[in-house]
Amino acid sequence: MIKNISLKNILSINTIALVLFFYSNSLHSNSAFPNFTDVVEKNIPAVVIVHATKKMGSATSVMPDMSNIPDEFKPFLDKFFDENKNNDTPKRQSPNFGSGFILSSDGYIMTNNHVISNADKIKITLSDQTELEAVLVGTDPRSDLALLKVEAENLPVVSVGTSENLKVGEWVLAIGSPFGFDHTVTAGIVSGKKRSLPNESYVGYIQTDVAINPGNSGGPLFNLNGDVVGVNAQIYTRSGGYMGVSFAIPAETLVNVYDQLKNDGKVKRGWLGVFIQEVDQDLAKSFGMDKPKGAVIAKILDKSPAQKADFQQGDVILMYDGKDVLKSKDLPLLVGSTLVSSTIKVKLLRNKKIIEKYVLIEELPEDDLIAGMKEKKVEESMVSGITVSDIGENTKKMLNIYGGVKVDKVSAAQLNSSKIQINDVITHINNQPVYNTTDFDKKVKNLNENTLANLLVYRNTNPIYLAIKILND
């Protein structure tokens, strides 16, 4: 028998259910979304606005080409430019805004190098609106960091932590001045670690989805403990504004650069002197490896630490100073952070055997010179779907090689099975040098059909390794 339930009882039951629902969701929200107020209140006083003023050049008048101007107008133009050519027109100034944070109570401040680059005057605004003139202590363009100094005492400071313990998915927050809105707070999660960016080999960036916009550059990235774990530096954007992908320089790089700039005014980085590339699946097979890992040496620079330690082209670097090199991008980070004049043990794979070498790390030079090349066609040879020709002496000199062959044509079958391209210069097959077309023919014909061979090629002067399948002609 079904008992009658009054409307009052139904309403009471629904009310209790709603209360429980909202209570449950409140607990869930509290656990999923932390309260950032303590971190913000603690650290806002140590975050500053950086104003960099750059001179844009003089507004000096330039006499135009008057060959096509009617004669009746020329006297007026002559008079105008005569009167103005000796005027001292003030130079226009362009302000640049960014963020920074205080690292010491006596006024050392870190920001991005691109915020203050080429600045004639730098001004700092504190959280209480106090304005101070800043001097540039030093810069490190390779990490995009710059150290400033203001004359002050008892300033509030941030606490610098470590990024090594950061986990993907962990909450982080940024404080900065996007678009000039001072001390703006945004939050998000860590999206990735040790990201490599184009032309940025010496920084393993922290990727986040924290909203970062122009003006945030140079500001701190905090964990929930209130420690600085990174310096907000770049965004990926197609619009000029935030699109959900931001990058921060890790705290370890910050500390290293800060110490060196403060003590020496410049940053020294370790240097091995090699060009490297990723080991893909095909290359791994050609090297006799069970899986892709490490960094293969495509070129060794003359008089470099690697050359002095008897490293060779085709060596695969598997371990550096006791640390595994899982991907090629790992190596520049490890070498760059090595103390100059340190002797480091490196584990290599050479001709399918593991060997160890000790190398004395030197200081990274300012510039690496890469020569161009000129082509010279001599003799042709058709082998394994590739038409090659001998290279001339100019090419050898430009590339600093003893011999090689240039790829002139690639068959459809070979094109589909490898990454070889026309104009590639082949210098080695399976780590054996190739001197000319005759030598190339001989070495290829000694290889088993349908096997993978590794080729060292120069492409637009850059050495790379390719895995190529030996085909029937």
Q: Is 286 a catalytic residue?
A: no
Options 99, 217, 304, 417, the catalytic residue: 217
Options 144, 227, 424, 439, the catalytic residue: 144
Q: Is 144 a catalytic residue?
A: yes
SS (H, E, C) the chain: CCCCCCHHHHHHHHHHHHHHHHHHHHHHHHHHCCCCHHHHHHHHHHEEEEEEEEECCCCCCCCCCCCCCCHHHHHHHHHHHHHHCCCCCCCCEEEEEEEEEECCCCCEEEEEHHHHCCCCEEEEECCCCCEEEEEEEEEECCCCEEEEEECCCCCCCCEECCCCCCCCCCEEEEEECHHHCCCEEEEEEEEEEEEEECCEEEEEEEEECCCCCCCCCCCEEECCCCEEEEEEEEECCCCCCCCCCEEEEEHHHHHHHHHHHHHHCCCCCEECCEEEEECCHHHHHHCCCCCCCCEEEEEECCCCHHHHCCCCCCCEEEEECCEECCCCCHHHHHHHCCCCCCEEEEEEEECCEEEEEEEECEECCCCCCCCCCCCCCCCEEEECCEEEEECCHHHHHHHCCCCCEEEEEECHHHHHHCCCCCCCEEEEECCEECCCHHHHHHHHHCCCCCCEEEEEEEECCEEEEEEEECCCC
Q: Is 280 a catalytic residue?
A: no
Just list the catalytic residues. Answer: 114, 144, 217
